Structure 1
């Protein structure tokens, strides 16, 4: 065998060994826990639903007499009736969340401690297990939470975020503003920030408000608050239409609004088996809630209202009007009690009519969050196609039954034609294919083509920051030899600012003709590309998508990127691995050549003995830069100073991984502060 062929064979063998450990878990190194790679799902296991008036999807909870989820049921155990008529089930998915199997492949460090702990660089964003992950939306209804209950509401929201698995997707919105996490994301940073700044601003009940301010009951403002709540519920539900095959949970932190009272009447007006099958939309506040319920039905959304007021009675509010010249009359006190009851009724009925659970009448807000997670983890998703198309303003009743004694079934009770379509998709450049356009403009990432993406700020020019966007596509998907020996990939990149305006739309076609050794390398590793994007200060969504011609496999990843105005912006670490330099990299933006002489990687797991090249922005006039590799026991395995890169405001560290082990921390101190990067290191078996 020629020397070059032997060298390539050795590289292939080494890559196959490392990536097999990385993808399938460690062998002989039990201390470093790495997960299985996401497996490709047969199409039959994950049918695609078109959630509209011709196909109805229902998520169903089945509990035993002790309140525990019942698993192992089959499609034949269920019966669906619409307006009393049995329906033919078209799809059946038993959903069971398995945290251990869905753990993302990123080494994690314990939280930093000390007076000034270093910033831990977040892991790359991936779309791994997107189709099997749980989906939650958290609505912080600050317009209907009393300021005195702010901390209770924050504690419940923090409990939800703390108990989410890394693979879960979360959207957080408020009712007082358009502030939100922007999309369903696995990054908890911005969600936590929103929770920490949440403050209740609920108005006094109408009677108390009028009594305190001499006749001014703030009626218009109160109605505006109710309208905003309805708008958030409807918008979130419409966005959830595109996500199918699992329970979609909306946690509503709210004390409710008396404007929403009367939904119990809607329950009566919902058609029965002997009824007309029609209902006219009400007027005013009732019409708003009708639109909300239509949207929740179209999105198969279950609402879990959680009242931070717990079991308290309105008497506590009377403290706010103490000292009034005229005391409350018995009639006024009755009105206060009535308003409180109506607000609670609103939230209870929202749960009952959407198949959720009311967490209103309890002082255990944290226990309520536990119930939310339990229901999202074990359930069944059924779908059927009604024989008659749904007409405008028509409402139909759904009844789900289980042919097993002693069980309790919880599902939504009906559906209506949605009053409005989802928001129009993002304006994506017309040069991309329709399929890639849908990937870039979607609500949730797609994982048929597993990808990992990292965005690293490398320089600032004027007000803009240059971001290096590194993309790695799982080689086990695209490394299978094609009939013509060619790999064709269409890749797209798009950014969206806080106003929803798209920019930086870029499309690139990659055509590869690998040799035999290159096919082996690709199948054992990944395909890498590196882009450069200039972003102005502000909050952005960075969207990356890829589509493989022929196979139709597709993937997308959405990242949250915040570019601060402060010149001392938090810099990332651009990491390259000498060992992984053989990973196929058909495209690197020429502008990135100033900062790295090897292809950067979002990978954070390396073989023992590898050498890393780590580039970090640094103001050379502020003094030297330092880095050290810290072992799990706190000892330093390596330390060194950064070497300036000519023509840039950056330094480079050459970090050997000879002495490190398990998950070590690379701690780097530059003019931008002190940061640490988790580095997983696997030693070969002896």
Structure 2
């Protein structure tokens, strides 16, 4: 790989962005689709939210493609003195299993295996994400490890196609119709009812199918939203981990597409965080030419009336397209030969310009900012990411509120938001360790360990330092061995036991991790983050009572910390103790009346309790019961919207659902 420094005002960047520096990678093509080299910073015009920005550095990155991949025209060599420092290519292969089927997962798996075997270059780094988890909890340059990780890609359990479920009586045309019914669109509801009566007249003679249509629409929409939230959560968590790695990262996102209607804010946040982390998402529609709502389904019964007509467009592709375009990647569709799709991705990711600028608006306010890039030459086409979140890289790595689905008795589930860490950097307990939690926790760990060790700087050759260095580069096996040796030494400092616990957790040795963190709690009882780590370890062992016990201890020490009350409430929801959970969330709102998170969780818990207490009265054609919980949940969500936060779209959706009677 070679780097050409085009502007001499500043030295070539190493792509580890400073807090006030924004880097945008740009691809420029001529009218025949060939990459254009030889441009300087003066050839580009860059604006942020419509305001022109001064480009302080422009760099061309050009990598030699693997054999068989067309070479970009005009090879570029470095003009800088000495060999430039450039990071290896970083590849993430994400199997979006919530949006894959039994027919498309094998195709995606085979394509990834072939790419790793034939195109993955020596020195590159890669990782495989399946079912929301990074396989082996690390990135690696070991080709065989990556190949095996991809080959082992499976669904977590029995998979039932949502497309097939849509087609069961009473049949819904597509996800858009289901969302319309839930929003109260009478035309959509009437079309579905008419279709149901055309397909089963006898059932309609007995009773109107309207309640069944509404119930099915609500159930399907809940499934679509949960699946989309899970997918976007994986993208966000990966972005937080990748933000600490230099250079651009290529995320190959294998999916059939997803629907996120009324969740535009979530999609923008996910794309914005990926863009800020230098991650480009290349979405591959693994259905190939066999797309749309009827793909893969044989002898479907479609009524001839307008209410029975099939979907006229593919509702699933739009959001994956947006994820790719907003991050500067590509959306690859209508391609049955996935090997060609991977070649196109590798070719596109190999050569690009990097434009660096310091925003005229230097306030990192966490808002989404739009970027536009043009070239001051005719007949050239420019592709670049469309925006980013105005968050300093270090701040991006702080834990943000995560969305977790917790299961309660009676097979009901609800999304409850787990609190993010305070400035001290606590890692909050979650009911389950999700996909890129491993990547994110490694990134957060550096800040927390440094907080615990303070000025303690040991010898680089010591087992403790070797172990910590191994953990930071993702080698958790070596890290665990070295840190275990260091922990055995008399007087080993608490940070060694804490780091050892992180390595053990990454290796899924949850009981050992808990034992290491218990030693930290005994030696440094005033170190709040370890209480959350301990609760996490106990939850992963299904010891909910022990997790709550640790948090109760923390509550005694930091009684004015709403994070603790929120975390206790989340575990209580997991256990089905809704009354106790509501009390915990209410306590959090009293501790911090202006903290929006507690209101969101309180609204969700009240909504769950309301749902459990309701019953459907056929004669009245409506649900009754739970009115007081409905009123209180509505007030909680309205307060959250008033205060603002990342879950405003979900809060508004909840308010719409609560208004449905």
Provide TM-score, normalisation by structure 1: 0.47
Greater RCO, 1 or 2 (C-alpha within 8 Å, sep 6+): 1
Larger strand fraction of residues: 1
Tell me the TM-score normalised to structure 2 length. 0.49
